[in-house]
Amino acid sequence: MSHITAHVLDSMLGVPARGVEITLMSAAGDTIATATTNDDGRVGELGPEALEPGDYRIVFAVGDYFRHRGQDHFHPSVTIDFSVKAGEAHYHIPLLLSPFAYTTYRGS
């Protein structure tokens, strides 16, 4: 299992957001992995089985998702910086998305 997984839900429509490209990066901006959400809005494999403790960034390319739907939107992308701690086996990063707002949290 990947150390990082993600899930994108379109909270305006109440459906999973499929086709959202997600990029996992180091704090220095180096790309570690990319993936695209499936029909359930999920990415189950984003990067290696383990990451070194430290700071990372995940970028959700939500602008393309909304453009594809013909939906006006405010955010071209959503960037979330987070820290990986030693001994933590898994990080799940959900994104609840609407055209003009978003929220996130550490999932399970």
Q: Which parts are annotated binding residues?
A: 7, 42, 105
Residue ranges of the binding site for substrate: 7, 42, 105
Q: How many residues does the chain have?
A: 108
The CB density around residue 88, as the number of other CB atoms within 10 Å, is 13
**Pairwise CA distance, residues 90 & 1, whole Å:** 8
Q: Which residue's entry shows tokens 């898994």?
A: 90
**Residue 74 DSSP class:** S
